[in-house]
A = this chain, B = another copy of it.
Amino acid sequence: MSIIKFRESVYLRAAASVAGKEEMSGPLGEYFDVTCDDGDRFGMDTWEKSEGEMQRLAVEECFRKAGVRAEDTDAVIAGDLQNQCTASSGGLTGFGLPFVGVYGACSTAAESMALASVLCSTGSVTRCAAVTSSHNCAAERQFRLPLEYGGQRPPTAQWTVTGSAAFLIDSAEAGEGGAIRVTEVMFGRMVDSGITDANNMGAAMAPAAADTLLRYFGDGGADASLIVTGDLGKEGTSILRELTAAEGIDIAENHTDCGMMVYDIDGQDKHCGGSGCACSGIVMAADIIPNLRRGVLGSVIFVGTGALMSPTSVAQGCSIAGVAHLVRLEADGV
- Chain A residues within 8 Å of B, Cβ to Cβ: 1, 3-7, 46, 48-49, 74-75, 79, 81-86, 89-90, 92-93, 96-105, 111, 115, 118-119, 121-126, 128, 142, 186-192, 308-313, 316, 318, 321, 323
Contact B85 A103 (CB under 8 A): yes
What are the residues of chain B within 8 A of A99 when measuring CB–CB?
Answer: 187-190, 323
Contact A48 B321 (CB under 8 A): no
Contact A105 B122 (CB under 8 A): no
Known: A111-B100, A124-B4. Contact between A312 and B118, CB under 8 A?
no
Other-chain residue from B7, B83, B101, B111 in contact with A84 (beta carbon distance below 8 A): B83
What are the residues of chain B within 8 A of A6 when measuring CB–CB?
Answer: 122
> A222 CA to B188 CA in the complex, in Å?
37
Known: A89-B190, A99-B323. Contact between A311 and B83, CB under 8 A?
yes
> A321 CA to B84 CA in the complex, in Å?
12
Known: A90-B318, A313-B48, A321-B89. Contact between A187 and B1, CB under 8 A?
no
The closest CB in chain B to the CB of A45 belongs to: B316
What are the residues of chain B within 8 A of A186 when measuring CB–CB?
Answer: 98
Shortest Cβ distance from A69 into chain B, in angstroms? 15
What are the residues of chain B within 8 A of A93 when measuring CB–CB?
Answer: 190-192, 308, 321
> A259 CA to B163 CA in the complex, in Å?
38
What are the residues of chain B within 8 A of A49 when measuring CB–CB?
Answer: 316, 318
Shortest Cβ distance from A145 into chain B, in angstroms? 15
Contact B75 A1 (CB under 8 A): yes
